Amino acid sequence: MFDFIKRLFSKPDVPQLPQSTLEIAFRAGMMISMNLMAERCTPDIIARLSLPFSRGYLFGWLDAASQYANIELNDKEFLVFMVAGHFPIKDDIGDMTTFVMASSELQGTLDLENGRALGGQEYIASLEGKLSMPIGLINFLNR
């Protein structure tokens, strides 16, 4: 799997991230994927995951993963990290790079920023044992 991600980003203008950094992104994405398991039978899940709040939640969750691990990323590296973190839900969102780039274009919008804040908070609370099941995204998808 990590070889696939490395090949995906093997172009000269795309920053290369260390394997350990890619693994952190992937594991954070797997946490989301596992949380979505019961939701995959929900009609319109792909459309709902494409809404700004959902996109923001995913960005916030993965951003918190990089911060919690003390990973410093410039803007390009951040986007590579985001794409790697979206790998576990690629079947839900389609092309990861396109999804991440479209999400990044929504930065500054209220819905995306609200989702981003909640995703980040839930990631940290989950790792610190203050939240047994992050449900912010699930609640949004089921509205």
What is the per-residue pLDDT across 68-115, written as a single tens digit (0 to 9) for each?
A: 999 999 999 999 999 999 999 999 999 999 999 999 999 999 999 999
The 10s digit of each residue's pLDDT in 16-50 is 899 999 999 999 999 999 999 988 887 788 889 99
Q: What whole-number distance in Å separates Cα of residue 94 and Cα of residue 112?
A: 19
Residue 9: pLDDT band with limits 50, 70, 90: low
| Whole-number pLDDT of residue 45 | 81
Instruction: Tell me how far apart the terminal alpha carbons of the chain are, to the nearest angstrom.
Output: 34
- Beta carbons of 77 and 18 less than 8 angstroms apart: no
pLDDT at 5 over 70: no
Please state the length of the chain: 143
**What is the domain partition of the chain in residue ranges?**
19-141
pTM: 0.90
HSE-up of residue 76 (Cα within 13 Å, Cβ side): 8
Least confident residue range of 2-11, 14-23, 105-114, 119-128: 2-11
